[in-house]
Amino acid sequence: MSDHSSDQQDPIVETPASSEKPSLFLNREISWIQFNLRVLEEAENRRHPLLERIKFLTIFSTNLDEFFMIRVSGLRRQIVAVTGGSTPDGMTPSEQILVINRELDAHARRYTLCWKEDILPALQETGIRVLHYSELAPEERKAIQGYFQREISPVLTPLAFDPTHPFPHISNLSFNLAVLVKHPERGDCFARIKVPDVFPRLVPIPTDEDTALQQMGLGKTGKTQRFVWLDEVIANNLTDLFPGLDVVAAYPFRVTRDAEVAIEEDEASDLIEAMEEQLDQRDFTSAVRLELDVSTPDHIREILTRNLQLPPYLVYTSNSPIGMSGLRELYALERPDLKDPPFVPSVPSCLGKSNSILAAIREQDVLLYHPYDSFMPVVEFLREAAHDPDVLAIKQTLYRVNPKSPIIDALMEARVNGKQVAVLVELKARFDEENNIEWARKLEDEGVHVVYGVRGLKTHAKVCLVVRREQDGIRRYVHLGTGNYNVITSRIYTDASYFTCDEAICGDVSDLFNSLTGYSRKNSYSKLLVAPTMLRQQILSRIEREARRHRQHGDGYIAFKMNSLVDTQCIQALYDASQAGVRIDLQVRGICCLRPGLPGISESITVTSVVGRFLEHARIYYFHNGGHKDVLMGSADLMPRNLDHRVEVIFPVEDPQWREAIINEILAVGLRDNVQARRLLPDGTYERQQPADGDPVVNSQDWLLNHWKSRS
């Protein structure tokens, strides 16, 4: 469930220690590890189709890579520099590393068991086999050797390590072989070979039918369902690379490096150039993890750890293939029988009645809930604005954008058609920096006014403003969202889009863009809640209002849906509300540092997490407010980074129809989930929800797939 969301990819910023007891808070890093365990549990879950289970294995592996690149690297920097105090839960960086390693050892064992004892045999039953090189038949080895000599061998570069050859640079997340060869005069020698990433990690093994067709010049049939690992192909065909030497053994390994990019914005004359320089250095940062095969001998391990300057606690061994993200190649197989059934996203009837998105928005506010609703109305909103002769200007924020983006195309078309177009492209979006630099330059080449964010902050808000001249004057239209302007992720993330031409909200959005693109220092808005100036305080005041209401009338209720809950001030406010008797339901997909169910502290708080087919990504904040229901949505989680270090926007949903749909369907159904939901226990562990006797079985994502489209 990776969301460069996803949600862990910012440097460690310690929350100021709370005046309350550390025992009231769960550790942020351990809470994230519990989330990734829930992802692994879905790989173990036999209710899912087989290739979907493999998808969860790859997500688990990719999530862990990013965790080391950002979170563990931050902890190591603190340990080396002897800086950083304890977190709100009282743990020091060294203590956190110890617990992380203990937890990850247990997860690694489950991961290996799931792959070797469960999924591999299940694949074989479906006709898909992932083999070790030693399992190949002689004729198969001959075919693979031919492929190696023709395609792979010319790309390989053995790099020796001895007094005349320095230790080679090992790039981040690259696959490598530590090769031990015997030299006639020098004895045992060490060499490194990088496994090229231009080849598939799983090499198809040709069938007799494939071979015959290739000989006739007809190409592959596409039916090959047998594979062997690329690193094993290389390791078993090294003789030609070391003529005159005996190849003793080859051991796979992989290095993870610190991915933090630090920009001194006050000193950078050109932010794009400064960012590019830092990105060029990402492969040369400190190593934070070394992954080894369990068979790697001690002297090879010692060579690697000494030259990578890694302490023993950052070395990890495995008896399953290293870096299992390569299994995504299996998910790409054309085997619909082994995947979730496809579905067609709907379009609300209020949009289907008109050929114009803008005309529909003039009639009423419009809510979309992706992926159950199509993302295409968002694209059409921009396309229509780009071609409408009465549209004067378009302003938009971009954080993560997919390749070949129709959003970018529409913005460039708008500029070609003479519209004033201003776009804030956030260059510091983690792991999307290079893509965003490329998009920024393309937009600038088309004449779009591009800004790169606000100094000292990331702009994470999801906002688009269209300004149109109409008969009765200038009218503004706004799209506000909880997710990125990304067509690809809109199919797999649950996110909300909201269209409105409410004058107060549109005025707020205009003011926001003035502060983003100019020197405005506006801190207060009519309806929007904007970080970092006022968002936390507005949330806190609403929590306190609910507590006051409950003390007077006994009907207090709060329901939040978010990715992460870390901010100690917000957690303390929720504890205070719980002690006042307010019933609080929190659905927190990932990190949650609040402990529910503590006697006298949080007895009325429940926390659940849904991990399923789609990545739960929407942020929704509901306060019952004595029946004057207050529903907010937007881009921000309740984390210090969102509230203090980012430009975020939370907006009210005031249309009664959509407000009730959010409360009674999105929130209520999610909270009733007893299939994919887990409940957080006071000790920080999670237990899967089960239907009680006589209760209906509720899988919230399946329910929304079947019922959400009928609500309009």
Which residue numbers are catalytic? 460
Cα–Cα distance measured from residue 105 to residue 282, given in angstroms and rounded to the nearest whole number = 27
- Return the structure tokens found at 247: 């190849």
Helix (H, G, I), strand (E, B) or coil at 403: coil
Q: Are strands 159-161 and 187-195 parallel, antiparallel or unpaired?
A: antiparallel
The DSSP call for residue 673 is -
Cα–Cα distance measured from residue 489 to residue 371, given in angstroms and rounded to the nearest whole number = 9
Cα–Cα distance measured from residue 475 to residue 467, given in angstroms and rounded to the nearest whole number = 6
Side-chain-side CA neighbours of residue 194 (13 Å): 14
- Return the structure tokens found at 692: 């009680």
Cα-based torsion angle of the residue sequence 551, 557, 562, 566 in order, rounded to the nearest 10 degrees: 20
**Beta bridge pairs of residue 187:** 183
Cβ-contact 483, 617 below 8 angstroms: yes
Cα–Cα distance measured from residue 634 to residue 528, given in angstroms and rounded to the nearest whole number = 10
Q: Using N-to-C axis directions, what is the helix angle for 93-113 and 50-67, rounded to 10°?
A: 160
Q: Using N-to-C axis directions, what is the helix angle for 93-113 and 28-44, rounded to 10°?
A: 0
Cα–Cα distance measured from residue 258 to residue 76, given in angstroms and rounded to the nearest whole number = 10
| Residue 6 neighbours by CB under 8 Å, 6+ apart | 563, 590, 615
Q: Are strands 391-398 and 646-652 parallel, antiparallel or unpaired?
A: unpaired
Cα–Cα distance measured from residue 406 to residue 398, given in angstroms and rounded to the nearest whole number = 13
Q: How many other CB atoms are there within 10 angstroms of residue 281's CB atom?
A: 10
The DSSP call for residue 206 is P
The DSSP call for residue 18 is P
**Beta bridge pairs of residue 131:** 228
